[in-house]
Amino acid sequence: MTTEPTAAETAPRPQGHACVQSYLATLDNSPGVYRMLDAQARVLYVGKAKSLKKRVANYAKPSGHSPRIARMISETASMMFLTTRTETEALLLEQNLIKQLKPRYNVLLRDDKSFPNILITTGHPFPQITKHRGAKTEKGAYFGPFASAGAVNRTLNQLQKVFLLRNCSDSVFDSRTRPCLLFQIKRCSGPCVGRISQQEYGAAVRDAERFLQGRTTGVQEALAAEMAAASDAMEFERAAALRDRIRALTQVQSVQGINPRGVAEADVMALHMEGGQACVQVFFIRANQNWGNRDYYPRTGSGAEAAEVLRGFLGQFYENKDPPRLILLSDDIEDRDLMAEALSERAGRKVEIAVPQRGEKADLVAGAARNARESLARRLSESVAQGKLLAGLAEAFGLDAPPARIEIYDNSHIQGTNAVGAMVVAGPEGFAKSQYRKFNIRGTDLTPGDDFGMMREVLTRRFQRLLKEDPDREGETWPDLLLIDGGAGQVGAVAQIMADLGVEDIPVLGVAKGIDRDAGKEEFHRPGQRPFALKHNDPVLYFVQRLRDEAHRFAIGAHRQKRAKAVGATPLDEIPGVGATRKRALLAHFGSAKAVARAGLADLKAVEGISDTLAETIYGFFHDRG
């Protein structure tokens, strides 16, 4: 239950220790979550407690706090409480509230994207092997996580060489009449055109699954025996193909780096803190194989200690991911057993958290710690250089202060088709790729190629949302500078758009190529001012070029994705009730969308998975259109 302030408590409260002290009389020893708020009712901190009364009593003490906690208490003007049945529930609720509210004094994981997996599908005579990211809704065997798309792509590439499994979609598989290029370069066994039997292909699938489960020795021994038998039978071409597959398998194992013998499944997390910043390096060990590593830079909550940083990171990291059976840490955390219990409850199986001191596990943690230290050193060095560039940018363009957030906008289209707008973000830590956004242009009244109209739509959607979600600009999502790829016309149009939205205090800068259209001779435009240029060797010029080029790259990439998706689109995508499965069934039955459009009602009803009602909907969709 939530304890809201009573009528007596609505009167002005003292701030700081006296405010915290005033709540003690109304609290008991129940477990729960507490929130500390400032005078503007902004959440300063979210915490969990085994006993709310004891935890708040600790904050009410006038001394004995770290500078960070003392500063937080001094800003506290009110508190809110939520009781739970158990301390485990309190821990899980605490992490959810931290992710939702993003309090200033909490440790905050800012990059929580999902990781890619390898999926071997089921439900088809010839299963597909492919990369998968997101919810595991498709039937099949999942192997992962891999640290990055690059890591999973490299492994997939090698696995195709070894096991010759198809990666094409079912619809492409069903439509093939002759082998594709992958068959020609020995990356696929050609099941689509009968070049391998279902039994032989199934054996290859089982071998691939055994390899991804860590049972690599048996796979290699079986291939070696098969190669020897082919050689003895003087099937030299087949023996050579098997030799190549064994070499590819060896290469897969070598590129995975250090493969621990005694650790079958674990996430290895090591923390390094320096200069008020933190880096957590995470290594993914699955099936006794190293499937890559990734570094994170959590916000340290205005100076939290190492144990609190790692605890906060751990809880938020697994908020949307399945934890492994073992988690190895470089530093111990408060309530380690409680965190393990909470993760076990979330995973539906036992999860162990350990801080190894010796042996192979300690060596793994030491390696991760070394990587964390080196990654943070590079980041701090880059931050110093980035800070100088931002200061130079402010000086060159007459800004009041170095911008903490720059938003760069660009559009991409081909004669107005598949138009997208793109926004990239940069700041003191470089490009913030998790903040990038793409906008599918929706306006139906735009003239093809109307860049001004597209920019109006993008900025209107962007800032209307900001005005709705954060009208007081308390968060970190309001920009300090808008950079536009364009000249005086674009800058003037953007300034008018912003004025129409009532947002006129954000500087707008346009960057356009000079008279010769050469990089290095850019002209800069500001509303109501004459254009100017920077010296050709000015670091700020190179910095602005990088910002513009990154927006251009992102916009083109988004446009290509949209165009590729449109190439594969058919009128069937527009029919209510026809999803991917039914679309596949219709195309497999009739051969093409045009044939579906010409089909009679009785023929449509004969398709497996198409009900009488849906058949009438499909028939009506095409025939009502004339």
Segments making up each domain of the chain, as ranges: 16-106, 116-254, 266-377, 406-565, 571-624
**Residues pairing with 130 in the sheet:** 119
- What is the model's pLDDT at position 454? 83
CA distance 438 to 422: 5
| Cβ proximity of 9 and 63 under 8 Å | no
- What is the model's pLDDT at position 236? 77
Cis peptide leading into residue 428 (ω within 30°): no
CA distance 355 to 377: 24
CA distance 216 to 225: 14
CA dist 65 → 61, 300, 362, 464, 623 (Å)? 8, 17, 33, 42, 76
With a CB cutoff of 8 Å and minimum separation 6, the contacts of 80 are 2, 3, 4, 34, 35, 37
Please state which CATH class domain 16-106 belongs to.
alpha beta
- What is the model's pLDDT at position 7? 42
How far from the centroid of its chain's Cα atoms is residue 73's Cα? Answer: 34
With a CB cutoff of 8 Å and minimum separation 6, the contacts of 454 are 411, 413, 419, 421, 441, 443, 446
- What is the model's pLDDT at position 50? 92
Q: Which H or E element spans position 43?
A: strand 43-49
- What is the model's pLDDT at position 533? 86
pTM for this one?
Answer: 0.70
| Cβ proximity of 490 and 455 under 8 Å | yes
As a CATH number, domain 406-565 is 3.30.420.340
Superfamily of segment(s) 266-377 = UvrC, RNAse H endonuclease domain (3.30.420.340)
- What is the model's pLDDT at position 415? 59
| Long-range interactions of 344-349: CB distance < 8 A, separation 24+ | 345/88, 345/92, 346/92, 346/318, 347/322, 347/323, 349/325
Superfamily of segment(s) 571-624 = 5' to 3' exonuclease, C-terminal subdomain (1.10.150.20)
Q: Which residues of the chain have pLDDT under 70?
A: 1-14, 111-112, 216-218, 220, 248-259, 414-417, 444-449, 514-520, 564-570, 624-626
Q: Identical fold at 406-565 and 571-624?
A: no
With a CB cutoff of 8 Å and minimum separation 6, the contacts of 37 are 43, 44, 76, 77, 78, 79, 80
Please count the other Cβ atoms lying within 10 Å of the Cβ belonging to residue 12: 7
DSSP type of residue 573: G
